[in-house]
Structure 1
């Protein structure tokens, strides 16, 4: 189906651009995934590992590098010293602002040559696709 190929191509183009942006900040895609996990609230390595679908040892290594570079910090739980929380530092807030700016400018730049009718058509089509996927339970139901 053409829709599948088009979505795949769009996703690849966007991800390639995002990875270039992350590279400018000396971050890898897996590091970005870990940072995204602790952005809103501290989590344990186990929780992060489960969420990003990487092994505990891989996530632990990523966290070592992120901690070394000042992106995150390990903090022992006050009530149970066996638990170690991974939490963000102020450096993540700085990158989050840059990332938000990137997202806004990316689409603004890419879509700047389109008229309002074309933009409305894109939005309508994407909304329709999202609605259909939600209605069919995509993401929670196995499709193969």
Structure 2
């Protein structure tokens, strides 16, 4: 059981440190952790506020406010769907490259800089560990989903 206690501590510590680090970096650019999360999602593809709400776990009204702040900052735009005018998409105001120039920590090179001191072997070991953790967590999520459907 001691191994699982240590694992629990490390997972919580890793989460806390990564949130703290991203928050400090984001603060330098005048945006919040929630805004970073939404930008990361919208960067992949345009989303509706409802989709962003489901992905983040925050209420629709909260996400709407965060999107308004991102819109005021010139990071995103709201655009009505061509087929269904009731649907509003949230898209990047600029292309991905311009966004990453404005907010470098959203680019791929940020992770390279963050872990620059690690050897290739250490990076591979870390990636293997994260893949293992993610596979177990995904399995547990799937089990939870099956229980909820019953």
Corresponding residue number in structure 1 for 2:140:
138
1:68 aligned to 66, 72, 80, which one?
72
1:106 aligns with 2:114: yes
Corresponding residue number in structure 1 for 2:60:
56
Between the aligned partners of 1:4 and 1:75, the Cα distance in structure 2 is 42
Change in 2 beyond 3 A, CA 1:68/1:141: same
Structure with more helix by fraction: 2
In structure 2, stretches of 5+ residues that fail to align are 145-150
Change in 2 beyond 3 A, CA 1:29/1:121: closer
CA-CA distance at 1:71 after TM superposition: 0.5
CA-CA distance at 1:140 after TM superposition: 2.2
RMSD: 2.6
TM-score (norm 1): 0.77
SS at match of 1:87: strand
CA-CA distance at 1:68 after TM superposition: 0.8
C-alpha deviations, 1:42-80, integer Å up to 9, x for none? 121111111111111111111111111101001111222
- Contact (CA 8 Å) 1:76, 1:85: kept in 2 or not? yes
Between the aligned partners of 2:64 and 2:28, the Cα distance in structure 1 is 23
Between the aligned partners of 1:118 and 1:81, the Cα distance in structure 2 is 50
TM-score (norm 2): 0.75
Structure 1 stretches of 4+ moved >4 Å = 115-131
- Contact (CA 8 Å) 2:79, 2:88: kept in 1 or not? yes
CA-CA distance at 1:141 after TM superposition: 2.6
SS at match of 1:39: helix
